[in-house]
Structure 1
């Protein structure tokens, strides 16, 4: 799609392929390093492969895109007719992706506004969609950025994981919090807060934790029109069940996306992840 304002994000937004194509959004891939092999998220490695590697205790790490990769994306957008670019990325607390985009933006052929959304997964994806919809309607660069930032401000993301160990290994949650969860044999509920993953509640069993995740998401979505995303890693049945219950409980539901997270997020959460993203319109 040709427009004056182009939207760039990264592969951790986990936007459906149809949405990327419909709005002309470019998703720059992060890299997953499996053992000694570097693979691009979304094209060269699946979340299922990461889940299997983690279960076998194979070394799995992730890395940001290079500034050169972003520069190529910005050049392509400019050649396609964009006179401005909004580049929206996962929290800088998790990755150097934002920093790489900022470096590339300095030499881009058109103005680039790089935004650290403080989000990840479809919490980031909804921000990209908000910016794209504004651009599709003829909005300018400032208006597209404002739409994304407003969406980020209102969006909440909650996650259940079977263990905090993977988050601890990747440095995404403090060792003390991870140790507390293990010592008490609890099932953790997590929240995305100010760009960081924080321990929200400790629940005694997986079934109770998932029920509590549903309660929190439904309460968060109780007013107005909202979009919801349900994410999982190697837990499709849990995700479909949660999605169905939220369809029944949220009267203002507009869109509901159910998807497995990609390899990058999967590498840090481990199999069994279940997440709910609530994003008011």
Structure 2
């Protein structure tokens, strides 16, 4: 394969799917107390992070060093790649993209770097769009643009029980305006231009999740979409939301399932237990 794809572990790609699509996944790190683990390993499972947060154990995250990406690009070149498209989470949320850019300078092959301005499943859908474009015969630049298009059209929405974890990690952005009344509301948040932004304030968790559903349906509109529901330590409510969205978005899904799963450990460390997110992404257009 002359053009290969690279992404990071926050894209939430299943290992089997990444292998089938030929996508190399570079892990971010989770720091629990004094120990550092690669995301995706047994010691950095989402449930481990959730429990550590409940126990007030210090939890933080760390980007991969540029050398990790450089080694990945060199390995792909040795396997026959002549170009790489590297698709990653928002540079506003992590230094990962900076590491990608540094590594690309000395990769030995051309690397097209894509900052999706998104997180989580939206990044996954973007890199899958790039894979579909390459399968259809697209160039590296065309595949990168396919990733950008899907990421730009995606809507990432989420509910959190508290803003405290986002505050601790310094990733709260414009949503900091909600902190003064955080005890009285259940905030609904979204992503705009790579940053967390406040959407609405709702008085109860039940109303918040109902509103999250309505926002997801509105985001889908009449278009063909892919949808993921993600959660951290909130499986029952996530499953219920998945079932409702599967019914309400049936036409746009055209037989595709609404994916439902636990949020990755790195993102989970910043939103805390109880979080539920919905990602609605447009289906890529392959010419």
Same fold (TM over 0.5): yes
Counterparts of 2:238 and 2:83, CA distance in 1 = 38
Give the TM-score taking structure 2 as reference length.
Answer: 0.94
- Write out per-residue CA displacement over residues 105-150 of structure 1, whole angstroms, 9 at most, x where no aligned residue: 0011210011111011001000000001111222111111110011
Unaligned ranges ≥5, structure 2: none
Confirm whether residue 257 of structure 1 aligns to residue 259 of structure 2.
yes
1:262, 1:152 → 2: CA distance? 19
Q: How many residues get paired?
A: 278
Deviation at 1:178, TM superposition (A): 4.4
Secondary structure, aligned partner of 2:229: strand
Distance 2:95 2:179 in 1: 26
Q: CA deviation at 1:180?
A: 2.5
State the partner residue of 1:140: 139
2:178–2:198 contact (8 Å) kept in structure 1: no
Q: Deviations over 1:252-277 (max 9, x none)?
A: 11442211111110100000010000
- Please tell me whether the aligned partners of residues 226 and 255 of structure 1 are also in contact (alpha carbons under 8 angstroms): no
The DSSP-based 3-state class of the residue aligned with 1:39 is strand
Q: Deviations over 1:168-211 (max 9, x none)?
A: 1101114842423325x100000011000011000000000000
Equivalence map 1:49-198=2 (5 Å)? 49-174=48-173, 176-183=176-183, 185-198=184-197
Offset at 1:53?
0.3
Asked if the contact 2:33–2:59 (Cα under 8 Å) also holds between the matched residues in 1, the reply is: yes
SS of 1:118's equivalent?
coil
The 8 Å contact of residues 167 and 176 in structure 2, kept in 1 or not, is answered as no
Structure 1 residue aligned with 2:280, among 269, 278, 281?
Answer: 278
8 Å CA contact retained: 1:158, 1:277: yes
- Describe the superposition over 1:23-66 as per-residue Cα deviations: whole angstroms up to 9, x where unpaired: 01111000111111111001241010000000001100111001
- Checking the alignment, whether the CA contact within 8 Å between 1:168 and 1:178 is kept in structure 2 is no
8 Å Cα contact 1:4-1:135 kept in structure 2? no
3-state DSSP class of the match of 2:228? Answer: strand
CA distance in 1, matches of 2:190, 2:179: 18
